[in-house]
């Protein structure tokens, strides 16, 4: 009776890295394949950003004023870009909890694959989905009159900051998904996400809020990314004469995600390794 050959275990750091990357991509392809096989989910995910643009740009936006003047839809779009990146954490948490509760994660752990492949594969798949969402939002923005004014280089830098924020929140979502006991707990944990995206400078300037709420909004990590992308796109409403964190939004748009990654990436990997069989 023939037996399967034993898996080749890499011994050098370079070989282990290549092994981990290859396995991570295989897991990411699995997630992306499942996503493509659900056309209703794809349509819903692409229609939602467009509905947000129409709702906030035309329904609520008709009563909004931008401090210092300017087109409200140009003020709004960077906020919607960042908000979509932030609310994407719900997709990450739900997917991780679902796989864990159904035993899929344990099945992966029993296979001869890199220990980091499941979490890195999840992060790659979520970043691909987020990039597609962002492209749809950018196109919707162009259709309603939004545009960037500082050239393609600055626009690409703004997109990079938005994806950096999403990448950081992916690891927050993976960690939360690994510690939650069941899919039913997801709703409770994610309940504060939408309010937190509102207590920022996404839709109105913190200067228009009560002073205590404006301070919270300025220190919200989301606000730094929104302000930085507004500056890079050349849109209305960049911070001027505000707090230190508002005046240094470009720096904080990198620092906040870097801190989240530094904290939650190792926590996610450690939690995954300690999951019970």
pLDDT at 166: 96
Name which residue leads in pLDDT, 13 or 243. 243
Cα→Cα distances 259→14, 17, 224, 247, Å: 27, 24, 14, 19
- Per cent of the chain over pLDDT 90 is 25
Residue 42 pLDDT exceeds 70: no
Tens digits of per-residue pLDDT, 75-115? 889 999 999 899 889 889 988 888 888 887 777 777 777 77
Tens digits of per-residue pLDDT, 50-73? 777 777 777 776 667 777 667 788
pLDDT at 20: 75
Residue 200 pLDDT exceeds 60: yes
Residue 172 pLDDT exceeds 90: yes
The pair of three-digit structure tokens given for residue 197, joined into one six-digit string: 């995206």
Q: Where are the alpha helices (DSSP H) in the chain?
A: 13-36, 39-54, 72-87, 89-101, 104-109, 117-143, 151-179, 185-190, 193-198, 211-219, 221-233, 244-247, 249-273
Using pLDDT thresholds of 50, 70 and 90, give the confidence band for residue 260.
very high
Which residue is associated with the tokens 């960049």? 238
Vertex 217: Cα angle to 216 and 220 (nearest 5) = 85
- How far apart CA 235 and CA 77 sit, in angstroms, is 9
pLDDT at 257: 96
Q: How much is the mean pLDDT over the chain?
A: 82
Residue 183 pLDDT exceeds 50: yes
The H-or-E segment that residue 199 falls in is none
pLDDT at 1: 45
Alpha carbon 77 to chain centroid, angstroms = 16
Q: What is the mean pLDDT of residues 228-236?
A: 90
- Crossing angle for the helix pair 221-233 and 249-273, to the nearest 10 degrees: 130
In terms of average pLDDT, the best of 6-10, 158-162, 174-178 is 158-162
pLDDT at 160: 96
């Amino acid at each position: 009776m023939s037996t399967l050959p034993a898996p080749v275990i890499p011994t050098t750091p370079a070989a282990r890295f290549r092994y981990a990357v290859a396995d991570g991509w295989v897991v990411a392809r699995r997630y992306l394949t499942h996503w493509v096989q659900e056309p209703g989910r794809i349509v819903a995910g692409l229609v939602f950003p467009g509905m947000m643009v129409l709702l906030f740009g035309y329904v609520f936006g008709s009563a909004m004023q931008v401090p210092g003047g300017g087109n409200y839809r140009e003020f709004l779009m960077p906020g919607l870009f960042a908000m979509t990146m932030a609310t994407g954490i719900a997709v990450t948490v739900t997917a991780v909890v679902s796989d864990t509760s159904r035993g899929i994660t344990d099945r992966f752990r029993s296979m001869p694959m890199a220990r980091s492949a499941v979490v890195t594969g999840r992060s790659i798949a979520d970043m691909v989905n987020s990039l597609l969402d962002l492209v749809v939002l950018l196109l919707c923005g162009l259709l309603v009159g939004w545009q960037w004014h500082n050239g393609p280089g600055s626009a690409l830098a703004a997109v990079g900051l938005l994806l950096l924020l999403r990448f950081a929140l992916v690891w927050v979502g993976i960690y939360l998904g690994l510690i939650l006991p069941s899919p039913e707990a997801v709703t409770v944990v994610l309940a504060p996400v939408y309010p937190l995206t509102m207590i920022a400078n996404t839709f109105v300037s913190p200067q228009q809020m009560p002073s205590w709420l404006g301070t919270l909004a300025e220190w919200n990590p989301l606000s730094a990314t929104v302000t930085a992308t507004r500056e890079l796109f050349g849109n209305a409403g960049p911070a001027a004469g505000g707090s230190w964190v508002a005046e240094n939004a470009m720096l904080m748009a990198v620092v906040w995600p870097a801190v989240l990654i530094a904290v939650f990436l190792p926590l996610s990997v450690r939690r995954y390794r300690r999951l019970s069989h």
